Each structure stands twice: as C-alpha cells, then as structure tokens.
Structure 1
C-alpha cells in the first residue's frame, strides 16, 4: 500500500471492478431471502444538490448493509421524468411556454431534456459508488411503465374507485392545470382585511374580506347561528356593494365568530370553505376567475383584469363610493402550488378523481401495519389522512405525461376504455377499434394526462412488473423498505399506500425509512429552485471524494434535519486518513501471518476481538432500526479509541520485537489484528465502500473466499466473554491514567516510569498478570505491580 491514499485513482478503479464483476446484481434464481427497496425516482426538474446526496446515500447504505447480512438485495433505480416538474424545467431552460408549441413538438423537447438530466443523475449516483442493479432501471415515461400506469387507472375505474366529475377544483393559474390537495403548500403572506358594507333592510352588515375582487361572485352571506349579534338577519337578504343584486343571509356553524366581523361572504370560489358551502347549501355559481388567472370579461368594472389588479380596482371603487368602512394590514396563511409558488384558485372544471375520502379509515389502519422509522413520522401521515378534504384529482391539463387511456362517444358521451392489449395508448393518436354501444363511431379523445404521482405511486408494482410477462409480484410484494424524505409523506407515501390497498389489498412495503433535510441556514431547505446549495455534488465528489461525502451523510439521527458546510467534511477526511494509516500499519505486520495456526490468545487480544464482536452486535441492532448515523458512531468509537488509540499501542512491541517478546505472542497479536481489521473493513464497507474494497483487495482477498469485500457477511457470533470486556475497560483506564500523568507533568509519552501499581478485582488478577509485559511496553514502565 502506497504511503498516501489517492481517492481519484481508487474510486474509479473500484467502480469499474464492481461493474465488470456484477457485484451488486439481483439474483432471481437465488433461494436467499429477498430484501427489496422502493427507492424514490428523482423528479427530472433540475440538477441534484447535496440534500439529494444526503437522503439517497443513507438508503444506499441500507442496501449494502442488508447484502452483507446475507439477503438477496433487490435495489432498483428509477427516474420520474413525466409531468409538470419536467415541463417547467424545459420551459425555463428553453425560455418557452408549452402552450405556444404543437403538443408533439413540446414533448420532443421534454424527452431530449430528460435524457440529458437522467445521464447526469446516473453518472452522479455511480460516482458515489451506489450498489444499484442498473438492469432494473425504469423511467416513468417509458412504455412498460405507461402500460402499468394506464392499467392501474382502468382497474380503478372498473372497480368504482376512479370517477369523473364537474365540480370546484384546486387550480393553478400559472401552470394552467388542476392540482391535488397534496400539491399545496401553506405560506404566510402580507395582505389587507377590507371591511365592506353590505346594505340590508336594517343596519349595514360589514364583512371583512381579503378577496374583494370576488364581490361579483358573492352568492350569500353567512353568520354563525350561535352569534346573538346577527340572529335577526338570518333568512333576510343583503345587497352586494357596487353590483347591487340581492343575496340571502344564511346560518352555518363553520363561521368563526371571532374572525373579522363575524359575517362572512361566500363567493364562488374564494377558498375551500366556499366550495363546501356551495355543495352543502346548494348555492348558485357565479363565474369570476378564469383558468388563466384573469377576471371573466362579463364581470362589470373589472372584467379582463388580472386578479391582483382587479383587487386594487375594486378597493378603489369601494372607497370612492363610501362602501369601505376600513382596511387593516394582516399576515395570513394562503395556499400556493408547491411547483411554482403561485396562489391557487378554485374554479369549476370536469376532472378525473380517485375516491380517497370514503376510505380514510382503511388508510389509517394501514399505518399501523407498516413499521415507521423514526416512529414520529407516523403521526405526520395520520394527521394528513385525518385532514383530507378533497378526493385525489388525478387529471392534469398538461402535455408530457401518461395519457388517460379513454375516449368519449361524440353522440352519447359514454366513456370508452382502451383494451388491455392496446396499452400503452395515446387516445390523441389512436381510435377505439369499434363503435360505441350506441352505434356512433366518432370519438373525442381525453386530452388531459395523469398526475405524475398517479404513476410514481405505483413504484412497487413497476418494480414487480405487475401484470407484465415477467411479473414477480408474488416474490416482491409487499416490498421490504420504502425510503423517502419527510415532506412527501403526504404525496408519495400516502398515494402509494392508497394504490397498493386498492390494487393488491395489502400494504406496499413492510418498513418506511424517512430521512431529514439538509438545510442551508436555520429553517431553510437546500433546493434546486432556491439555488442555495453551496457546491454541486459533482464538484464535491471530485474535490473531496465520494467516500468523504458518504461518511458525512451518515452523521445524523434518522429523520432529523442537518446543516451542510464544506468545513463539515474535515472530520470525514481525517477518518479516511486514519483508516488508511491504520490499515497500512496492520498489513505491514500481517505479511507473514500463518492464517491456520492454532494459537492461544493473550488477554489483550481476546479483549479486542470480543470488543469487535460487541461493536458488530450493537451496529447491527441500530441498522436494523435504520439508525445509520448512530451505528456509524458506535463503529467509530471502536475503531478510533479501542483499536487505534489503545490496542495498537499496547501490542506494538509484540509485533515489532518477536525476538524479545516471543513468536507465539506475536502470532496472537497478528491473529487479533487480522480479525479486527477485516471486520472493521466490513463494518465500514457500507459507509465508505471504495477505500474498504481497495484495502481488502490489497491483502485480505488472498485469504478470504469472496471476490469482493461487499459479498462477505458480517460476523454473527455473539459476545462469549463478558469478563474480558470488563478487563479491557480497566486496562484502557490504566493506559489513560498514565498518559494523563505524563501530560500533567509535562513529560513526553515515551518517558520511563519507575512503577505502576494496579489495584483490581480478584477475578481479573490473572488476566493482568498475563498482561504485565504489554503494560510495561505501552506505558514505558520499569515495574508493574498487580494487587487485589
């Protein structure tokens, strides 16, 4: 082994070695138990950042860990390359707007962009040494996945779980499409509460509203039936200011007595409560806002204006006409589309939905059947399900997505479903192969596409090739593990559970591992859109090494957020240097090892072996709970302290001077050193696979039967000798005390000591007697005396 470790040469060499020897391939013929991982297919919406490295690397470490526990690991990778995120990326990069292009022309641009980014993503994961079986790769726009996705929709439609309805829908005027409740984010925004006078037969009723531009859409006023101030108005009418038409005054217990004036205007539609009232009270609809975010031209005074301009104009007119009592600046919570940050509107539209509201209890019950890591994440899921207000809207008025496999009869309007052997089908390019049951042979194709989550929610089925020629659902489902970040519990986790229960009647996976975020500064997530990632992952890997980045990624408790700074990599670099130097030292003393020698081990050597076994047991237990960071810290404690700081210092003389200490004594140290260094490499293999593999190939492979370190299994031996562990801790204390004494007295560590007296329990006396020469050598003591 060369003196200095060169990661630039080693990492590429090891990656090529793994690829050439198919080290990480899933073996469909193996009888070993399968451990399958449902990995998040990253959305093709821009370059990856350190936050992606953090969460994806943690999941990859679990794949390596399970492989080294003897499992046949099924570890695929996919790319979520259809849908709105990709479209917005193309629009941004090309400086274009999708609607200005022919549909096919725009889709070609999307395909070219996704190909470029998927290569970049794949190169990055491979440069990190990901142990993925790339033969299992999928893309959510490829024909097989489209076929499975369309099959999923047809099954839901036939089972009565999918339906089409014209009703108020969440709408993004920026992206020009319907969206689902899960696509919303809540933000705090500065605005004004406008106190508007509505005339009645008695006194004016003052209504506080943040959306006066919807006055023309006002269909009634609501008061709380328990509010004594307004009881006499219930059942009467009021006049809408500026527009001078009458509306009823109704009662509803949803009205918050303490908010505003206690009188609320219901307009079609200001918020989700308006939509609920519209349905429950069978109110009329008055059109105000159009899908493009402008006011309908038929609306007097503000027709044709954009919403914010219309709001200013209405406030001006109210003030001018003495209809505005006052205005107050407030900060309130508004819902925005998470993809573009635009405030959403609610407009009536005909859309496709999946029924989720009638089965909330089923989804809550599923949460109890899944193991959540950390457990606290389960409550986020439960809170989301309990607070659902809308069925899942799955249709999007966009272009680059999986098409709905349906047409509508031009004559009777019947939904015509594509036959399964036609899938994947694009109804814009293909016609049904026969007439409608009414005899009509003219059809209108569905032009909307499926929400991207409608496809990525079936990743377990995609991985199992559900309904395809090589379907392995019976072997793979439910999958062993889902790994994801916590912000998509409401989308990816929830939707996958919904689809799996609807399609298979069972949970999609046994365990879910939820990772935290990497933060740029307090409370801010590092993201592609914010451009606050300090350096690109590619530059970080090229400048600091994949293993350094990986070691850093395994630093925190599962599910917790962390900060990132390049300075944080210093500890990881120190570790790589330490592992390299410790290995060089060990291997220099193992060149002449007799691997098959029958040796009676000395106490110190017995201790370090038992301490190594103890570390394996503890690390395994933590990793079974997906506590990657805590497990790494346990291994670090053994390697840095027990092995390097204490053991190597204690046995140095035996290794260097067999003529003084004896050949058998040296062999005992060699045996312990071989065992510990090999197992340290195995323990760290999941974290820093390149350097550990390189060291293994440099020496250990000649004695072990495995072509690769990563195909070896961790030791399964339990701790056999607890007394020797107590002895080891006592011995460490003695060495530590002598070091402390020399430091406090300004003595060099090799300064000779006249005498060390060790007081110990009777049962440890013999062990210390056998260790006197090791203690003398390590502490540079002339005399070591043992007393009980």
Structure 2
C-alpha cells in the first residue's frame, strides 16, 4: 500500500510504499536512492509518520530500490526482514522491538498493542484509510521468511547474544580455500561465495533446551562474568562455579542459561580426532586431517565454521581434501522431508535388499559429487543381482585350485589379464580422487559384460579339462587367470562392498582382503587380442546360432576368424563346437 507522510519543513505530502504498515510505530529513517533526481530536495529534511507522528530524517542511501513503489522507503527499527537487519547494522541504528515473543504488538505500537501482527496490519490500514492517508493499494508478490514446519511468517526480534569474530578474517579464510583440494571444483566456489557474503560476526549462542551449555556464571551483585577452568564439562544452570566469591566480594551467582550453536561444537571435530588438547605430539605428527567428507547443504555451516574455528586455534587449514556430496532424493527428484511425506526409510531397504546392494547402487547410480541420485528400489534390486552374479562366479572359480608354479600363458588368458590391468589403473586413479562411481561402473561392466559372459564361457572347458584335451600348462593358465581376475576385482570393490568382498576373498585365499596391498597394474602383455575381441566373436557366433534356430550349445559348421584369434583357436573351437576354422579379413559364423 502507498501511504502519505508529511514533510515537516514544507508541509508537503510524500508517498511511501510499504508491505508492513504495522511497523510505522518504529520508523527510524526515510531513504531514497542517490540516483533518484525526484527527491534530491528532500535530503536532510524531516518526515512525520502517519498515525504515530514520529519525526524521522530523510537521507540518501543506495539501499533504496528505484523500482519499488515510489522510490521512497521508510526503514523500521523493528526489522521486518533480513535486508532490514543488515541496513540497521550498517547505519548503526539501535533496534526497537515492536513485536513481542508471543507474536503480539508491544506498547510502542500504541492502539495496536496486544494485537497479533496480521490483526495489527488490518487495524492500521483502517486507521490510515479513515484519515485519508492511503493513496493506493495493490497486490504484489514478495518474499516473506516462513517457518519450515508451520509455514507461519517469521518475525525478527533483537536479543543480546554471544558472537565470535569472523568478518575481520574473511580475506584469510578466502586465501585458505586456495590451499584445499576440492574433489568437485564447483563446491569450492560455493564456499568462497559464502565467505564473501558474510557481513556480521557469528552469533554462537542459542536459546533452546538441548545443546552444549555455555560455561559462564554471573555475580548477582556486580554482574561480572565468571569463567571456569578448562578441562571439565559444566552445566551452569545446575552446577556451581569453581570460585567461592567474586572480586567484588559477592558470593551469589547466576548460571548462564543460553547454549552454544550446534556448529560451535561440531566445528572442532577434526581437532578432537587429532587430539589437539590431549596429545600435542600426536597432533603435530598427524595434522592436518586428510579428508572432510560432507553434504552440500552444510558447506556454509559445518565446512565453513570448521575452517574458521580451527584457523583461529591453529592458524592453518585443518584438512587437505574436501569431498562434497549431493543428496539421495525421491524418484521424482525431490529432496526427502517429513513435511512432504516422501522419506524412504533405510531400514526397509536393508530388510528388502541388504546393505551391500544399497552400497553398490549408491556407487553405480551416479557421481554424488556432481548431482543428486534418485532413489529407486527397482535399481537397487538390480544391483543385488550383480552381487548374486559375483557370488556365483566366485563359487564356480573356487572349485579350481591354482598350481604353485602356474603361469598365465594362453592368449585368451593374457587378453583378460590385460583388461584387468586397465581396470586397476583406472580404479587407482579414480580412488585417488575419492571417485567411487567410476570403479563401481567399470567393475560391474567387467563382471557382467566381459569376464562372466564371455571369458569364463570361453575357457571353462579348458579349466575343467575333463578329457585332457588341453596340456596341463594351458589348464593351469586358465585357472590362474580366473583366480587372478576374481581376487583382483574383489580388492578393487572392497572400498565399496566391504563385507561380501571380505567373505569371498577369505574363502578363496584364506586371507583378509583388507590386509592385502592395492593391486598394481604393471605392464600390459604384448598381445593384440583383447577381451572386447572375444566378446565380439561370441556375439557373432551366438547370433548365427539363434538366427538358425539352434541352441547356443549346438555346434557351428564353420568359423572365419581374423588373424588375431589364431592363438586362441582351440578355446574358440571347443567353446562353440566349431567343426572348421578358417582365417580371413572378418569374423563370419555359419551355423
């Protein structure tokens, strides 16, 4: 609504738009933008507020928005929003409380006293209209802070609190972010933007029941604050201070009832891990921590406050790497919350699928450092099938025991080992970047699409070697390659699937997978044949059999192979029942 103010010096009316007319009772200033030529003549004059008759100065200030209302803005000392709070602090205007803790107008509101804010708003509008002080009313869309749960509008009340200095350290903290390695680089900018936006010191006290108590007492005579000795947890509302008398001679004390902001505690978690207070030698040897893993929504709280607090205490970053994860959201992509009723109970997932399929799904579904993941029971169930496949592969391989001096010499075996070496190299690089998605996807692909479906099917006859169709050396080569690939993939998946990998590895080798060194890729074997080549060959043969209406177990009349398959010819003939094998420019299967 547009309300008429009176200029004291000239008697002219000025029109000011407001969405909070009930706060006219605490008007502190009228401002206009320095670029607004319409009001240059008002600079330094006094405005009289309608109804309440308060005298307030008219001044220039860039905070005034030329596009809002008439360009003139009245600023209330009882801040109606966060922008108003920042303005009051910038102008050093002492807050005046217009709304009480019960949500009703206080004595300063005159006739509006005792009314709820909405009632007071309607009443002041009626008073203004009755006196001809409203020039215009219109409906507009504007932001109003509301309670997350009740959705009621939030009123800001100025109250004394404890603050920790932070504004003066902004440049130091911004410089410190350059010393940290962010796994997702854009997360670094989120932190930098937050630090740059800070305009006040950190209010560290809260007025609620459950939190860490602030260890202070006050002398009831002189109000001096009594700070106890460190090393003990105090509850000042029930405990006595560790002094009998105040310096003034008073012997009665009142315990502090306010508590710390929760981030004031959690911000020192790295210091606790590093035994900052209890073992300085340990701290010196192991500081800083390697990693801070956390969610994106607490960058401005846990991450920032940890950097601030630990910097103030140690003058350096308290960890080297920062890994910021996004969220698991519902199937529609919405963040889970009680109010939306879309929370997925993790216990139900564990009961239905188990923890390991859930872990594998979380790793495979996407990169949590880049985007949210949509929770899908169907896809979690799909990863349970991957674990079943891994279990069945392990059960098959466990029936063969590799010889002590066995070597991998056959072409197909060398090809699959080369593929595993490539997987090791990629996984090693990925894990170094805290990337679980890449290794999980590649390992799953290797198990399903290469190892189990193609290589294992190709060499299982040689591994069994029931009729001694293959030399013992070639049988041992197959068994050795099977064990090498399985044991290696278990090691690669152990950071993602700690339990099933430990179980299978112990049953296969009698050893603890967690005590084993991470696999090393080493040099690739000098062979042109690849696992992809074998997969392509199998696909061509299987298609030819299907097209001819034959079973995959039926023999095939003729195979034409390229030269790279020559050293694996016996495996191929045996696996596919090929009656004749010839060589040419491409793969041809005649069923």
Change (3 A) 1:612 1:293: same
- Are the counterparts in 2 of residues 614 and 719 from structure 1 also a CA contact under 8 Å? no
CA RMSD of aligned residues (A): 2.4
Change (3 A) 1:210 1:445: same
- Corresponding residue to 1:395 among 205, 218, 224: 205
Which residue does 1:259 correspond to in 2? 68
2:13 & 2:573 partners in 1: Cα distance? 98
Q: CA deviation at 1:341?
A: 5.9
- Are the counterparts in 2 of residues 582 and 644 from structure 1 also a CA contact under 8 Å? yes
| Residues 224-303 of structure 1 mapped to structure 2, 5 A cutoff | 224-268=33-77, 269-283=79-93, 285-303=95-113
Change (3 A) 1:358 1:341: farther
1:284 & 1:683 partners in 2: Cα distance? 62
SS state at 2:101 partner? coil
1:424 & 1:339 partners in 2: Cα distance? 33
1:481 & 1:298 partners in 2: Cα distance? 53
2:417 & 2:98 partners in 1: Cα distance? 77
- Corresponding residue to 1:576 among 369, 387, 411: 387
2:536 & 2:279 partners in 1: Cα distance? 64
1:544 & 1:728 partners in 2: Cα distance? 32
Q: CA deviation at 1:384?
A: 0.7
Kindly indicate whether residue 453 of structure 2 is the aligned counterpart of residue 645 of structure 1: yes
Change (3 A) 1:739 1:312: farther
- Are the counterparts in 1 of residues 220 and 253 from structure 2 also a CA contact under 8 Å? yes
Which residue does 1:756 correspond to in 2? 559
2:498 & 2:95 partners in 1: Cα distance? 63
| Residues 591-602 of structure 1 mapped to structure 2, 5 A cutoff | 593-599=401-407, 601-602=409-410
- Corresponding residue to 2:322 among 493, 512, 527: 512
Cα-to-partner distance string for 1:222-272 (whole Å, 9 max, x where unaligned): 111220111112222222122123222111122111122211110012234
SS state at 1:334 partner? coil
- Are the counterparts in 2 of residues 614 and 718 from structure 1 also a CA contact under 8 Å? no
- Are the counterparts in 2 of residues 367 and 378 from structure 1 also a CA contact under 8 Å? yes
Which residue does 1:713 correspond to in 2? 517
Kindly indicate whether residue 166 of structure 2 is the aligned counterpart of residue 356 of structure 1: yes
Unaligned runs of 5+ in 2: 586-591
Which residue does 1:198 correspond to in 2? 5
Q: CA deviation at 1:772?
A: 0.7
2:372 & 2:25 partners in 1: Cα distance? 46
1:366 & 1:343 partners in 2: Cα distance? 38
Change (3 A) 1:684 1:476: same
Which residue does 2:493 correspond to in 1? 684
Q: CA deviation at 1:516?
A: 1.0
Q: CA deviation at 1:711?
A: 2.7
Q: CA deviation at 1:453?
A: 0.8
Q: CA deviation at 1:342?
A: 5.5
Change (3 A) 1:330 1:710: farther
2:349 & 2:553 partners in 1: Cα distance? 41
Greater Cα radius of gyration, structure 1 or 2: 2
Which residue does 2:588 correspond to in 1? none
Q: CA deviation at 1:414?
A: 3.3
Which residue does 2:192 correspond to in 1? 382
- Structure with more relative contact order (C-alpha pairs < 8 Å, separation 6 or more): 1
| Residues 3-18 of structure 1 mapped to structure 2, 5 A cutoff | none
- Are the counterparts in 2 of residues 370 and 511 from structure 1 also a CA contact under 8 Å? yes
Which residue does 1:318 correspond to in 2? 128
Cα-to-partner distance string for 1:709-752 (whole Å, 9 max, x where unaligned): 2332321242332x436544333332232233334454432343
Cα-to-partner distance string for 1:388-417 (whole Å, 9 max, x where unaligned): 122110011122222222223444443322
Unaligned runs of 5+ in 1: 1-193
SS state at 1:400 partner? coil
2:479 & 2:118 partners in 1: Cα distance? 78
Kindly indicate whether residue 139 of structure 2 is the aligned counterpart of residue 332 of structure 1: no
SS state at 1:686 partner? coil
2:292 & 2:580 partners in 1: Cα distance? 60
- Corresponding residue to 1:563 among 355, 371, 374: 374
Kindly indicate whether residue 280 of structure 2 is the aligned counterpart of residue 493 of structure 1: no
Q: CA deviation at 1:434?
A: 4.6
> Higher mean Cα deviation, 240-249 or 410-419?
410-419
SS state at 2:454 partner? helix
- Are the counterparts in 2 of residues 408 and 446 from structure 1 also a CA contact under 8 Å? yes
- Corresponding residue to 1:211 among 20, 25, 31: 20
Kindly indicate whether residue 568 of structure 2 is the aligned counterpart of residue 771 of structure 1: yes
Q: CA deviation at 1:283?
A: 3.9
SS state at 2:112 partner? coil
Kindly indicate whether residue 427 of structure 2 is the aligned counterpart of residue 616 of structure 1: no
Cα-to-partner distance string for 1:52-104 (whole Å, 9 max, x where unaligned): xxxxxxxxxxxxxxxxxxxxxxxxxxxxxxxxxxxxxxxxxxxxxxxxxxxxx
Kindly indicate whether residue 351 of structure 2 is the aligned counterpart of residue 542 of structure 1: yes
1:497 & 1:340 partners in 2: Cα distance? 33
Q: CA deviation at 1:452?
A: 0.9
Change (3 A) 1:547 1:276: closer
Cα-to-partner distance string for 1:529-581 (whole Å, 9 max, x where unaligned): 543124x2112211211111111111211321011132222311221221122
Which residue does 1:742 correspond to in 2? 545
- Are the counterparts in 2 of residues 218 and 286 from structure 1 also a CA contact under 8 Å? no
2:540 & 2:513 partners in 1: Cα distance? 38
- Are the counterparts in 2 of residues 653 and 661 from structure 1 also a CA contact under 8 Å? no
Q: CA deviation at 1:370?
A: 0.9
Which residue does 1:664 correspond to in 2? 473
1:481 & 1:578 partners in 2: Cα distance? 34
Change (3 A) 1:419 1:557: same
Which residue does 2:183 correspond to in 1? 373
- Are the counterparts in 1 of residues 406 and 480 from structure 2 also a CA contact under 8 Å? no
2:59 & 2:331 partners in 1: Cα distance? 49
- Are the counterparts in 2 of residues 219 and 286 from structure 1 also a CA contact under 8 Å? no
1:587 & 1:306 partners in 2: Cα distance? 76
- Corresponding residue to 1:785 among 576, 582, 586: 582
Change (3 A) 1:596 1:285: closer
